[in-house]
């Protein structure tokens, strides 16, 4: 008789993964629990997760640093949706003989959301909708995107796709990152500029660089001071790339025209967070990757990872060093 194993899926805000409880592919010896709400501190997290053998995190909604992993004695398999997760400590997992595996499925959702934020923010669509419902008709005159300058901080896969849409709108697209050069940018119809020029010339500045020690806080008070008072800042990448307090001060003093933000330093935002009361903002709850296509891939990947792990052949392992410890 197979040993019963406890499995939990965290932060299922959209209640998408509840269907897995009735999925006949889930092994019968798995007792599945799903938490819809977020645990706000590591003490509560550890308290609720101690008994679980398999834990699934939805992207980076819940972090698993060393101090948490060391207090989960029953954990054997830690799954992240997507193939990377900067908030999972892989070294600590390996030391504790925990397999960490990922799934496919993040896709290009942030591209769609970036343009949704841009268009709604500059044309005040979200505000006009609210006013129409209140019986108020026509308040804002927004700029056309054609002829404006789109700045891309980080011309990677998502940045290139965002720039392609900008060019289709008739925008001039400029970009900078520490790894970018003029020849690489030109291949995509983008003009390479230096960092100060990126901030000073962009009418819309969109962030698409990965969060790392090098990029953490790369957009601060100095960089924002270069921006035009008519310009907008968009972030669908990671919150800590921007120094949040510097952005709040700039918005409150009208140093820039507005910001569209999908990511934040701390998520979810707590009720008294200053950004919730900061003018000229459009905020979304980190939904860049939340598409039906991505979630279907996450779902299938989670099942595959669990089944392959139980068959002693784990797949998409993010800490392969652990395999020799477990299987020789």
What pLDDT does 289 receive? 94
pLDDT given for residue 291 in this prediction? 95
> What pLDDT is attached to residue 83?
93
Tell me the average pLDDT across 16-42: 96
Closest C-alpha among 283, 232, 235, 225 to residue 257: 232
Which of 208, 223, 238, 244 is the catalytic position?
238
For the stretch 184-233, pLDDT in tens is: 999 999 999 999 999 999 999 999 999 999 999 999 999 999 999 999 99
- Look at the domain 5-106+291-327 and name its fold: Rossmann fold (3.40.50)
Q: Is residue 125 scored above 60 in pLDDT?
A: yes
Chain region(s) in the chain for CATH 3.40.50.720: 5-106+291-327, 109-283
What pLDDT, on a 0 to 100 scale, did the predictor assign at position 30? Answer: 97
In this model, does residue 2 exceed pLDDT 80? no
Mean pLDDT, rounded, of the chain: 96
The Cα 268–Cα 144 span in angstroms is: 33
Mean pLDDT of 147-155: 98
Q: Which pLDDT score, from 0 to 100, does residue 185 have?
A: 96
* pLDDT of 114 higher than 60: yes
Please identify which of the residues 108, 128, 249, 267 carries the catalytic annotation: 267
Q: What is the pLDDT of residues 287-307, one digit of tens each?
A: 999 999 999 999 999 999 999
Residue 105 confidence (pLDDT) = 85
For the segment(s) 109-283, the CATH number from 3.40.50.720, 3.30.1280.10, 2.60.40.10, 1.10.10.10 is 3.40.50.720
pLDDT band for position 15 (50/70/90)? very high
pLDDT tens digits for range 32-72: 999 999 999 999 999 999 999 999 999 999 999 999 999 99
Catalytic option among 59, 208, 244, 286: 286
Is the pLDDT assigned to residue 107 strictly greater than 90? no
What band does 106 get if pLDDT is binned at 50, 70 and 90? confident
**3-state helix, strand and coil shares in percent for the chain, rounded to the nearest 5:** 35, 15, 50
Q: How far apart are CA 135 and CA 327, in angstroms?
A: 67
316 is an active site residue: no
Is residue 6 over pLDDT 60? yes
Return d(Cα 120, Cα 127) in angstroms, integer.
9
pLDDT of the residue at 259: 98
Count of residues in the chain: 328
Question: Does the annotation mark 216 as catalytic?
Answer: no
pTM score: 0.93
Q: What is the pLDDT of residue 328?
A: 78
The reply to whether 238 belongs to the active site is: yes
Q: Long-range contacts: 242-251, Cβ < 8 Å, 24+?
A: 242/207, 242/217, 243/217, 243/219, 244/275, 246/219, 246/220, 246/221, 247/219, 248/274, 248/275, 248/278, 249/221, 250/221, 250/224, 250/225, 251/278, 251/279, 251/280, 251/281
R_g of the chain computed on alpha carbons: 22
Give, in order, the Cα–Cα distances in Å from 169 to each of 128, 147, 149, 173, 316: 22, 8, 11, 10, 39
What percent of the chain shows pLDDT beyond 70? 100
Q: Among 78, 61, 66, 60, which Cα is nearest to 7's?
A: 78
Residue 1 has pLDDT above 60, yes or no: no
Helix axes 109-123, 157-168, angle to 10 degrees: 40
Model confidence at 234, pLDDT cuts 50, 70, 90, reads: very high
């Amino acid at each position: 008789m197979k040993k019963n194993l406890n499995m939990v899926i965290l932060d299922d805000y959209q209640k998408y993964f509840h269907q897995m409880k009735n999925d006949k592919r889930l092994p019968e010896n798995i007792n599945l629990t799903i938490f819809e709400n977020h645990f706000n501190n590591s003490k509560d997290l550890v308290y609720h997760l101690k008994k679980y053998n398999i834990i699934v995190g939805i992207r980076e909604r819940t972090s698993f640093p060393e101090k948490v992993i060391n207090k989960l004695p029953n954990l054997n398999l830690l799954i992240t949706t997507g193939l990377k997760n900067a908030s999972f400590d892989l070294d600590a997992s390996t030391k504790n003989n925990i397999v960490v595996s990922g799934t496919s499925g993040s896709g290009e959702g942030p591209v769609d959301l970036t343009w949704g934020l841009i268009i709604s923010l500059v044309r005040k669509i979200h505000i006009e909708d609210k006013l129409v419902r209140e019986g108020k008709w026509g308040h804002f005159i927004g700029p056309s995107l054609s002829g404006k300058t789109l700045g891309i901080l980080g011309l990677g896969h998502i940045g290139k796709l965002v720039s392609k849409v900008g060019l289709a709108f008739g925008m001039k697209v400029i970009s900078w990152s520490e790894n970018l050069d003029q020849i690489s940018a030109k291949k995509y119809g983008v003009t390479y500029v230096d960092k100060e020029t990126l901030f000073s010339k962009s009418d819309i500045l969109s962030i698409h660089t990965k969060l790392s020690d090098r990029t953490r806080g790369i957009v601060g008070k100095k960089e924002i001071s270069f921006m035009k008072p008519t310009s907008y800042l968009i972030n669908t990448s990671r919150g800590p790339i921007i120094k949040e307090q510097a952005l709040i001060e700039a918005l409150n003093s009208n140093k820039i025209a507005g910001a569209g933000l999908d990511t934040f330093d701390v998520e979810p935002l707590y009720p008294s967070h200053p950004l919730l009361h900061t003018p000229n903002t459009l905020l979304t709850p980190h939904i860049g990757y939340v598409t039906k296509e991505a979630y279907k891939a996450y779902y299938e990947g989670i099942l595959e990872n669990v089944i392959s792990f139980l068959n002693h052949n784990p797949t998409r392992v993010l800490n392969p060093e652990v395999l020799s410890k477990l299987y020789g």
